Amino acid sequence: MKRKDITIVAGMHGDEPIPVIALASMHIKHIVGNPEALSKNKRFLDSDLNGVFGDPITDKETERAAKLLSLIPDDKPVLDFHSTTSIQEPFVIIIDMKMLPLARKTGLSTIVYLKLNFKAGKTLIDHRDGVVVETGQKLDHNCHNTTLQVLDSIENEKEADNIFLFEVYDKITEPGEYNNFELYDDSFYPVFATKCSYDFIGLKAKREKIK
Ligand SMILES: [Zn+2]
């Protein structure tokens, strides 16, 4: 797969600048999701941009979401680069199993399948085929390298040696000591647990080794 066959998005959250810098540093064409929030180093101005796609225009982010849908073609997949607060290892998120082949080509070994879609169909990849790439912790320089490595893997169709699919099926409701991607109490694998930017404790996933 070539770069021209995908649309690259970064800076959907204004406090996640490193993938934007990585792409700019290599002169790689991309769309900056939320330039105004990025310029203020804020996650968003009025509402979480990656949770308002398809909403009527009432504030800065709903206006930007509509603009992005007019900029981003619907006939090729999107790679949407992010970084997180709590999870160090990079991973890729899909919300539809039809995107598994693209997720595998990112070269990352951890794929999260959000079968339980907790953002109610309002993220960019609900409106365009594509995957979210979580490149690592927010201001960690590794996010820079991961962004560029993922693009290299996609161009050269390089898969990781081992690939694990974490299928999210429920929310975590009990407070506790959860380590992401590590089996908890012989029952589930936490994903997005603790210190996350969402209004819940974390998500429960099953793990399957697919390669
Ligand atoms: Zn983000």
Confidence class for position 177, pLDDT limits 50, 70, 90: confident
Return d(Cα 109, Cα 149) in angstroms, integer: 13
Q: Ligand 1 centroid to 132 CA: how many Å? A: 9
**206: phi then psi, degrees, rounded to nearest 5:** -95, 150
> What's the pLDDT tens digit per position in 21-66?
999 999 999 999 999 999 999 999 999 999 999 999 999 999 999 9
> What's the pLDDT tens digit per position in 73-87?
999 999 999 998 877
Q: Ligand 1 centroid to 169 CA: how many Å? A: 21
* Secondary structure of residue 20 in the 3-state scheme: helix
Q: Ligand 1 centroid to 82 CA: how many Å? A: 4
Q: Which helix H or strand E contains 131, and what residues bound it?
A: strand 130-137
Q: Ligand 1 centroid to 40 CA: how many Å? A: 15
**83: phi then psi, degrees, rounded to nearest 5:** -140, 160
Q: Ligand 1 centroid to 176 CA: how many Å? A: 24
Alpha-carbon distance values, 8 to 50, 73, 176 (Å): 15, 11, 37
Report which of 172, 151, 18, 23 is spatially closest to residue 84, judged by C-alpha positions: 18
Residue 116 has pLDDT above 80, yes or no: no
Least confident of 161-165, 169-173, 193-197: 193-197
Predicted local confidence at residue 198, as pLDDT: 58
Q: What is the dihedral of CA 59, 62, 68, 74, to 10 degrees?
A: -160
Residue 205 has pLDDT above 90, yes or no: yes
Q: Ligand 1 centroid to 118 CA: how many Å? A: 15
Q: Ligand 1 centroid to 163 CA: how many Å? A: 23
Q: Ligand 1 centroid to 195 CA: how many Å? A: 14
> What's the pLDDT tens digit per position in 9-32?
999 999 999 999 999 999 999 999
Length of the chain in terms of residues written: 211
pTM as predicted = 0.94
Ligand 1 ion: nearby residues, β-carbon < 5 Å:
13, 16, 82
